Chain A
């Protein structure tokens, strides 16, 4: 089951009364749960990255969209990296720099995967394991809460 098929499932779910759907196929399980609350506003990444030296950030225009919390398919040999803090997710150390990781990258334990900015401080989020980046679940500039899944990694011995 790939992302395209999951997106199709989500579309199908939208028009119905079904609030929760679980599909299992070829050893993979997907559970989709429809949420009717707006959880929080994804920010549009046209904002300047606040510098590490405490600059007052401009308030972002928030656009409310219904966030359906999709639980990504997690195979038994995959792990999810969740956010340890509340803040804004950034894929790169600065807007003009390349992202820390891309889909398919091999990462080492302790390698920085992303930044979560909280209270004007940039927190580097390190990988707990070595392995391969299977999925990046959050968009650049998106707010994240504690425990929110960020990456799916297939661990490997390195």
Chain B
């Protein structure tokens, strides 16, 4: 087992990883920008190294600084968390070449799944249904239009180097296509340095269902059930839950096996998530695979009783998974609300000082946060300040519990999305499980 791990991240996920390490008796090294000098993750780590000025490019994305920090502290492994360098194949490679263990999959897996067009092809090879679309990247507008006609409008043009909801354009009808195609290529080039795009049929009102998997060094791959993440705003998740109200045991096993096939065909190691879109007939289609631990991993932990970050560390250290597929049972229901420091009407980030911070408690309530009273939210990073997770026996009990926990959550000094979460949970459609990625659009139009 590792003696010392460096956490190449910040905020709540850095704290999450530090906790898993401490629970295992592993020493921790935090890295931070000057803006995060008073962060909780810095305070709670055994050691800390300042790696640069506030901007992410100069600090949390600064590979030499992070590797150097690992060298001077004699860290043996690096956990990249999510975002930042978590899905940077070059960083994973640099780690191995300097003798550091990257806690995640191989650079090849990251690279392959990071190319969203190649990932689709891989899923097809694994016999997994994919959203009908082009066979890989399309460069010519005329061929693209042919494909779009075959698929039938609406279609979506997606950047191959994109992902996580970025670099996509929906085209509702043929007359818009030419323009949209060229714009998508231009945007892809600007945002990702790569103009490659592919086309998919656009499924109206899909549900976003993702499967958590984890594999050890021997290739034992287990799925840990699904998460439904349909409550999204501009492709950013707001509320996640496990299990999905629309997925029964049989469908779970089917999708789980599909996710495992995708993972096995690329010899995937460590934790990952296979994302599917599901239409109203419960037909599912592979969308993409995320080669990292995800923000919403706690809801899976709550319903399975598995500590995913701990498993990640164990697997990276060469140990086998501490459970078999048969041992994974889904118990009860869990919901997570991402609490952001955002101005409620425009959803723009609202940095500032948190003058009062009192998280909720009681049975079945879990808070993942790096905020505290007098915490100054820096303006340089994302606006999420806490994740509120609840667990209960049933979905309706979980909703009641989440409602109660949101009422107890005191955050003063900055505006947060807590009021919005309360309203969403009060919506009849949400309570009945009539949700899809269109939910927030409908909600916004009724609320105004």
Contacts and interface: CB of A to CB of B under 8 A. Distances in A.
A and B associate in one complex: yes
A23 interface: no
B72 A87 contact: yes
Contact of B53 (A43, A59, A146): A146
Interface string A32-43: 000001111101
Contact of A86 (B34, B72, B74, B98): B72
A40 B68 contact: no
A82 to B, nearest CB: 10
A88 B68 CA distance: 9
Given A41-B74, A146-B65, A86 B51 contact: yes
A146 B72 contact: no
Of A40, A59, A88, which is in contact with the most chain B CB atoms at under 10 Å from its CB? A40
Nearest to B31: A86
A150 to B, nearest CB: 14
A38 B43 CA distance: 10
A13 interface: no
Of B49, B65, B69, B72, which is in contact with the most chain A CB atoms at under 10 Å from its CB? B72
Interface in B22-41: 29, 34
Contact of B50 (A43, A87, A88, A146): A146
A38 B47 contact: yes
Contacts of B71: 57, 87-88, 118-119
Contacts of B49: 39-40, 86, 143, 145-146
A60 B74 contact: yes
A43 B72 CA distance: 8
Contact of B73 (A41, A85, A119, A148): A41
B46 interface: yes
B46 A85 contact: no
Given A40-B47, A119-B64, A119-B98, A143 B73 contact: yes
Contacts of A148: 50
Contacts of A143: 49, 72-73
Contacts of B64: 85-86, 118-119
A73 B69 CA distance: 27
A85 B68 CA distance: 9
Q: Main SS of the interface on chain B?
A: mixed
B243 interface: no
Contacts of B52: 146
Contacts of A45: none
Contacts of A37: 43, 46-48
Given A86-B49, A119-B64, A145 B69 contact: yes
A81 to B, nearest CB: 16
Nearest to A59: B74
B67 interface: yes
A47 to B, nearest CB: 12
Interface in A9-46: 37-41, 43
Contacts of A62: 74
A147 interface: yes
Contacts of B53: 146-147
Contacts of A85: 64-65, 68
A41 to B, nearest CB: 7
Given A62-B74, A147-B34, A86 B68 contact: yes
B235 to A, nearest CB: 34
A43 B74 CA distance: 10
Given A41-B73, A59-B74, A146 B51 contact: yes
Nearest to A36: B43
Contacts of B43: 37
Of A38, A60, A86, A145, which is in contact with the most chain B CB atoms at under 10 Å from its CB? A86
By Cβ-Cβ distance, the 4 closest A-B pairs, closest first, are A143-B72, A118-B68, A86-B68, A145-B50
Interface of A: 37-41, 43, 57, 59-60, 62, 85-88, 118-119, 143-148
Given A41-B73, A147-B50, 15 more contacts: A38-B46, A40-B48, A57-B71, A85-B68, A86-B65, A86-B68, A86-B69, A87-B72, A118-B67, A119-B64, A119-B98, A145-B69, A146-B52, A146-B65, A147-B53
